[in-house]
Amino acid sequence: MQETSSVNAPLLDVQGLSVSFSTDRGRVKAIDDVSFKVAEGEILSIVGESGSGKSVTLMSLLGLNDPKTTFVDGAVSFRGRHLLEMPDRELRRLRGKEIGLISQDPMTALTPVYTIGWQIAEQIRAHENVSKSAALKRAVELLAAVGLPNPDEAKDRYPHQLSGGMRQRAVIAMALSCNPKLLVADEPTTALDVTVQAQVLDLLLRLRDDFGSAIILITHDMGVVAEVADRVHVMYAGRIVEKGAAEAIFERPMHPYSWGLMASIPPIDGPRLPRLPSIPGMPPSPEAIPPGCAFAPRCRFARAACAERPPQRREGDHTVLCVLDAKEREELRASVLGEAVAA
């Protein structure tokens, strides 16, 4: 299908990914039929709350879930190679070299007993046949590239001797060490202070331009998404409920859950609301996801049809899983976001 247009072929193509875990109460489906693509040099943001399955999705792409308890289905192709069918040995050669991971909490993401220079060099040497000193030299260059002051001295520091922001830079330097085509960032700024978060987001944008890596950014923070993403996927209870370009998602969000998410963030300027429009209830646990639209129990606009699997509606390449038709959607959106923005 994509052989004819290899130039436009996406870097990563995920089709019909499903993930289930075996638990004490039998198999639980955490991810249900998720499909998405990432183009070269693009920043795709997957937004969702805890338990929406956004991390699980990415971990199963990288083969980092426990294979004994996790069952993955679907097709994932990365630069034309099928990740899910790949033997572990081969996948390992890809991990860290072509796909880099930036994890959420820089405080715990580095092994405490080794210096950061050592840890970066370890990754370089796992993939390239270079000497220890050459790898360390590269580590210093990388630390400089991510903006660590005194990189030559910093390479001999242990993780606990660095602040959170500095550690996150070290983690990013490590993920970049083999010039990966794809960076997977799992809540990279959640554990950081706002001023440091701004620095790190800035760094990610700069790295995309300098290194040309595509980035998948997982986050729960709509603000962060708005700052950096090219395209946005909204995940709820193991499904992607809405996909589209960032402008489209922020200007004309289509799913009631996206409306709720946006409305429930208090504004930092303009008039204050007497109360925040919140989404009632809480996200379902993976064992209790309703068969139809998973959001229906919390949705103000739920109707009988929501008990069925919702249809996919589209406006250009902006798609949504929801029964609402275009006309009704406009009205209801105004009723939620209108009151939030213009009250």
Partner 1 sequence: MIDAANTAVSPLISARDLTKHFTVGKTMRPGSGRTVHAVEDVTLDVYRGETLGLVGESGSGKSTLGRCMTRLCDSTSGSLVFDGEDITRTGERGLLPVRRRMQMIFQDPSASLNPRRRVRDLVGDAVRVHGIRKGRAVEDWLRELMDIVGLRAEYLDRYPHEFSGGQRQRIGIARALAVEPELIVADEPVSALDVSVQAQIVNLFSELRERLNLTYVFIAHDLAVVRQVSTRVAVMYLGALVEIGETEDLYARPRHPYTEALLSAVPQARNRGRRSRIILEGEIPSPLNPPKGCKFSTRCPFAKERCHAERPELLPAGSGRSVACHYPLGSAAG
Partner 2 sequence: MVFAILQRLAQMLFVLFGISALVFLIFFATPGSDPAARIAGRNAAQETVEAIRKDFGFDRPLPVQYAIMMEKLFVSRDLTSFVNRGLEVVPQVMRAAPITLSLVFGAAVLWVVGSIAVGVLAAMTRDTIIDKGLMILALIGVSMPVFWLGELLNLVSQSRFHDTFLFSWVPGLGYKPFFDGPWLWFKTLVIPWFTLAALYIGIYGRVLRANLVETYQEDYIRTARAKGLSPSRVMIRHALRMSLIPFVTMFGMDFGVLVGGAALLTEVVFGLNGVGRLTYQAMLNLDLPMILATVMYASFFVVVTNALVDILYVVIDPRVRGN
Binding to partner 1 (CB under 8 A) within 231-250 occurs at 246-247, 250
221 binds partner 1 (CB under 8 A): yes
CA torsion, points 222, 228, 232, 235, in degrees to nearest 10? Answer: -40
| Residue 194 C-beta: closest distance to partner 1, Å | 4
309 binds partner 2 (CB under 8 A): no
Q: Which does 222 bind (CB under 5 to 8 A by kind): partner 1, partner 2, none?
A: partner 1
Rounded Cα distance between 20 and 313, Å, is: 27
Q: Which of 64, 86, 273, 340 contacts partner 2 by CB under 8 A?
A: 64
Work out whether strand 239-245 and strand 312-315 pair parallel, antiparallel, or are unpaired.
unpaired
Q: Which of 103, 119, 197, 213 contacts partner 1 by CB under 8 A?
A: 197
Binding to partner 1 (CB under 8 A) within 289-328 occurs at 298
Is residue 104 within 8 Å of residue 191, measured between CB atoms? yes
Q: Which of 218, 222, 235, 240 contacts partner 1 by CB under 8 A?
A: 222
Rounded Cα distance between 281 and 265, Å, is: 16
Q: Which of 31, 44, 101, 299 contacts partner 2 by CB under 8 A?
A: 101
Q: From the centroid of its chain, how far is CA 128?
A: 28
220 binds partner 1 (CB under 8 A): yes
Binding to partner 1 (CB under 8 A) within 245-274 occurs at 246-247, 250, 260-262, 264-269, 272-273
Q: Which of 9, 84, 126, 341 contacts partner 1 by CB under 8 A?
A: 341
| Residue 147 C-beta: closest distance to partner 2, Å | 20
Binding to partner 2 (CB under 8 A) within 145-184 occurs at 158, 160-161, 171, 174
Q: Which of 62, 148, 154, 246 contacts partner 2 by CB under 8 A?
A: 62
27 binds partner 2 (CB under 8 A): no
By CB under 8 A, name the binding residues for partner 2: 59, 62, 64, 68, 92-97, 100-101, 103-105, 108-113, 122-123, 126-127, 158, 160-161, 171, 174
